[in-house]
Each structure stands twice: as structure tokens, then as C-alpha cells.
Amino acid sequence: MKDNSKLVFTFILLGVLSACDSEQPHSAQLQSKRAPAFELNEHKTAGGMTHKRLFASYLYPGEKLSSKQQLDFWTGFSFFRDPWVAAPSATGNRDGLGPLFNTRSCIACHTAGSRAKIDEAGHILPLSLVVRLGSTDPSIKAVDPIYGGQIQPRAISYRLTDANIIKKSPYTDNLGEAWLDKSYSKITGVFADGEPYELLKPSYQLTKLAYGELAPHIGLSVRLAPNIFGMGLLNAIKTDDLLKQEDSDDIDGNGISAKYNRVPNVITQAIEVGRFGFKSKQPNLHQQVAAAFRDDIGITNSSFVDETCSKTQVACNYASAYGGHSLADLEIPDNRLDLTVTFNELLGVPPARNLNNKTVQAGRATFYQLSCQQCHTPSYVTDENYPVKELAKQTIWPYTDLALHDMGEGLADGVYEFNANGREWRTAPLWGIGLQKYKTGQQRFLHDGRARTISEAILWHGGEAEPAKKAYLALTKQQRDALIQFVKAI
């Protein structure tokens, strides 16, 4: 109770502050907000799940795990790291790749537990970029009847030779589904102090569609694999603590909605609050990992039993006879799937850095002043009853409400995912992002990795975050740098 009261207090405070504003027009919403007093535990981003490794990789377990948990972590890691091969093969434990797939391993996209090197612009067979397909028309919920909800650009070799089938369908080669044309155009602007900036605006088009055109209601949502550390702790936040923040119709009138996606749990069929994925499509970590196995690698499992072949993809259906399509024949059995989930769940988070630095503290004040925390909720105390005790009742600093927000036209993909619309994205967690460059050799932000710096990421904020962006534009260079240093430190 004591821990929860902190959250409640924050809300009362926000409520009071935004009530003071309600006479002001929307764009003037940015009243000065005082940062709350600095707490010592801000250094320990993830409570007992914090680890001390600042370089090399994000792939380390939390500090306080038992040796059995560490063993499970590293065993689970092997399923995350090792590439899968096509069935039938000499290695029955790791076959079942495809028939259609994006890459052969989780780590190919989540390099170092983070974001793989972003695909270059040009005409490409995408690797780290995932092209999701979704409806642009709210009255049609269905994904594409041929390609499903995601483009799998690769395929295992399989060719049907049965003359009777060949007569009936042109699609008797198992082919990767499409290529991607990606280009950037430059957008330029200036800060209030006259310093110019430049953003890269991407555009995407599918080419070489192997099985015919997309349905007319289908749009593309291009995504770069996100960071995966700390997911167990996000899984351990009480749903009630999320829903306390819900304000879908912006009743409090602060210009910021906080809408939670409502998505099916594929095992219980219940409709639950979405947490994982850029539009919160998955309700829990287990389902997120199971979906990744099936959709990204073509590995069927007890949550997602069927391969991603549609009826049109004739060779794909025949090729899948080597694995999948019956519960007895799952390509990853539950014990290994569960270990992969455990690995994801026990991934720790690096500690905050330099928070005592004066500039960083000034940046912290600016973060609250600009109302960044209205979406990037700084902290939670995780559920005291979470089944893994090391993750229970931890004070964590992820800086996200896990809610959907209208982020404006600039970031919009036009695609619906359950209750999320084409302008909505889940607030990205900010913990650990300042280390991306050291851990992966690259720095890329936002859902499709278009932003090359934290400053660019902020400059793409629009919609409900337009006032925060405008206030950022109005800062002096010194204030901007301090804010960025704070975001890099958390």
C-alpha cells in the first residue's frame, strides 16, 4: 500500500496541475511542472533486476537471481541465439524453420538484446525491418487474405512437382513473400535559437510480391526490432496500475489520452490489456515470445499451432508437413518455449549512469517541465504477487505508461491493430536507451528506427506530444543538451 500511494500521489498532483491549465488553449498546455524530489533508487533502474554491465551487450540476467535461474537464463538464451534450420534435418531439436520466415534466429533482429543494424535504404530483402500488414479501414478488421499480418521475405526451398497441383495453382514454388523499397527524404527545421536540424522521413513500398497484390484495405507498418531487456518487469506491473492511467477520452483535459489496447489472450481467449509490441498487440511476455517464434522464424508452438501459410501459398502448405500443423508435431515444445520466455523475463536492465551530475539533474528538471513524464511514466512498484519472486515488488524506472498515444501524422502508419489506430503508438520505455551505441555499435530510435539521435526522436513527436515537442524546440541549446543527457543517463 505504501508503495502504491506514491503512484496515486503523482496522479493527484498531475490532476491538480492540469486542472490549473484547463483555461489555457491546447498548445499552451506546458505549464511549468516541478520535478519530484530525486530518489536514491532512481540509480537502480530495475530494483533487484538491475545489473552492472554498461558495455558489450544488454544480454545479462538480473543481479539477484539464483544459480538455477541463471542456468535457465543461459539455456533459454541458446534458443534465442542459435539459428534454426529447415526440416527435415540431422538436428531434430532445431529444425522447423519456415516454410516462410524473416530470419533464422531471435538474435539476428535483437542484436545484443537491442535493435539490429537497420537495413540500408534501397531495394532490399529486409532483415532487421519487419513489414507488418494491417487494415487501414476500421470497418474491415481482417489482415491480408494472402500474406497475413506480416511479410516473411524468406522461404525454405521447396518445389511441388505434382502435375495435378501445378495445373490448379501458379504458386507451387515456396517463395519469400516480397522485397522492400525504402527511401528517405530530408526534412529540415530550426530550433527557436536558430540552430538548424534535419530529420529523415522514410517511405516504404513492397515490390516483387510473390503471390499477387495486397488486398486494397491493407497498409504497411514497418518496424525495427525493439530493445527486449526488462520485459519481465514490464510484464510484472499490475494491470490496475496501468489502468489507473487510462484516460482514453482525455477527461482530465491535459491533451494526452493514454489508451490501453485490448487484445486477445490466445490461450484463454480472454480480452486483456495489451503491453508488448509497438502497438501493444500482445498481452503478456509468453504470448509475445510465442508469436515471435511463429511469425518471425516459422517455429510453431502450443500458442500458435499453425504455420503462416495461407491457402494461396500452396507449396508453403505442403512444405509445412515436415513440422507443425498438429499439436503432437510442434516445432518447439513447451519446455523450450518456456525457457526462452524465462530468458526474456530474467533479462536485467543496466543501472542509471551519472544521475548525480549537475547537468543531468538540470535535464531531469526539464524532462518534468516539458511533461515528458505524462506518457513516459517514470516508475512503478511491480506486483507483489508476481510468480517470479525476484521480479515481484521491485521499484522500477522504465519511463513508459505502456499506453497508446496519438503521435501525429509524421509518425502515423495508417494501420489498425485491435484498438490501436493508424496514428497511435505505445510509449517507448526509455531505460537503458542511452547505452545503445555502446552495446550495438548503432543508435536508432522510434518504431522504424528513423531517428538517429534522441533529439531527432523528440522532434518526431507530434499529436498529443506536440506541446512537448514545441517546448523542446523553444529550449536553449544548453537546456536541450541537458535534457538529452538525462535521457541518456536513465
Instruction: State which of residues 199, 220, 433, 482 lies at the interface with ligand HEC (CB under 6 A).
Output: 433
Q: In the range 114-133, which residues lie near ligand HEC by CB under 6 A?
A: 130
Contacts of residue 390, defined as CB under 8 A and 6 or more positions apart, other chains included, come to 48, 49, 62, 64, 65, 69, 346
Q: Which of 58, 77, 80, 147 binds ligand HEC (CB under 6 A)?
A: 80
Asked if 286 interacts with ligand HEC (CB under 6 A), we say: no
Tell me which residue has cell 522492400: 180
Contacts with ligand HEC, 216-255, as mask; x by CB under 6 A: -------x-xx-x--x------------------------
Question: Burial, 191: exposed, middle or buried (Cβ in 10 Å; 0-12, 13-18, 19+)?
Answer: middle
Rule CB under 6 A: is residue 434 a binding residue for ligand HEC?
no
By CB under 6 A, is residue 84 in contact with ligand HEC? Answer: no
At its nearest, how many Å lie between ligand HEC and the CB of residue 163? 36
- Extract the C-alpha cell encoding 172: 507451387
Determine which residue in the list 153, 445, 475, 485 makes contact with ligand HEC, applying CB under 6 A: 445
Which three three-digit cell numbers place residue 443? 543508435
Rg over alpha carbons for the chain, rounded to the nearest Å, is 23
State the minimum distance, in angstroms, from the CB of residue 37 to ligand HEC. 20
The answer for residues whose C-beta is within 8 angstroms of residue 473's C-beta and 6 or more apart is: 189, 191, 192, 459
Measured distance CA(245)–CA(17) in Å, rounded: 16
**Contact set for ligand HEC, span 460-489 (CB under 6 A):** 461, 464-465, 468, 472, 487
| Nearest residue (CB) to ligand HEC, 180 versus 375 | 375
Residue 413 burial by CB count (10 A; 0-12/13-18/19+): exposed, middle or buried? buried
Complex with ligand HEC: residue 276 or 318, whichever CB lies closer: 276
Comparison of 314 and 458: residue with beta carbon closer to ligand HEC: 458
Select the residue interacting with ligand HEC from 33, 182, 259, 447 (CB under 6 A): 447
**Contacting ligand HEC (CB under 6 A), which of 18, 320, 340, 379?**
340
Query: Which string of x and - marks every residue 299-338 that binds ligand HEC (by CB under 6 A)?
Result: ----------------------------------------
Nearest to 378 by CA among 420, 421, 429: 429
What's CA 310's distance to the chain center, in Å?
Answer: 26
Amino acid letter, residue 280: S
Which residue in 363, 358, 361, 403 sits closest to 380, CA to CA? 403
Q: Residues 72, 144, 296, 331: which binds ligand HEC (CB under 6 A)?
A: 296
Stretch that binds ligand HEC, among 8-16, 24-32, 349-357, 445-453 (CB under 6 A): 445-453
Of residues 11-40, those binding ligand HEC (CB under 6 A): none
By CB atoms closer than 10 A (0-12, 13-18, 19+), residue 423 is buried
How far is residue 301's CA from residue 270's CA, in Å, rounded to a whole number?
19
Residue 182 or 447 having the CB closest to ligand HEC:
447
Q: How would you classify residue 51: left for phi > 0, otherwise alpha for psi between -120 and 50, otherwise beta?
A: beta
Taking CB under 6 A as the criterion, the residue among 176, 277, 348, 398 binding ligand HEC is 277
Stretch that binds ligand HEC, among 21-29, 185-193, 239-247, 441-449 (CB under 6 A): 441-449
When binding is defined by CB under 6 A, the residue of 135, 313, 317, 374 that contacts ligand HEC is 374
Least separation in angstroms between CB 167 and ligand HEC: 35
Yes or no: say if 317 and 324 are a contact pair by the CB < 8 Å rule: no
Sequence letter at residue 154: R
What is the distance between the alpha carbons of residues 115 and 111, in angstroms, rounded to a whole number?
A: 6
* Binds ligand HEC by CB under 6 A, chosen from 46, 49, 411, 489: 411
Instruction: Quickly tell me which residue has 529486409 as its cell.
Output: 126
Question: d(Cα 407, Cα 415) in Å, to the nearest integer?
Answer: 13
Footprint on this chain of ligand HEC (rule: CB under 6 A): 80, 102-103, 106, 108-110, 130, 223, 225-226, 228, 231, 256, 276-278, 281, 288-289, 292-293, 296-297, 340, 344, 367, 370-372, 374-376, 405, 407, 411, 425, 427-428, 430, 433, 445-447, 454, 457-458, 461, 464-465, 468, 472, 487
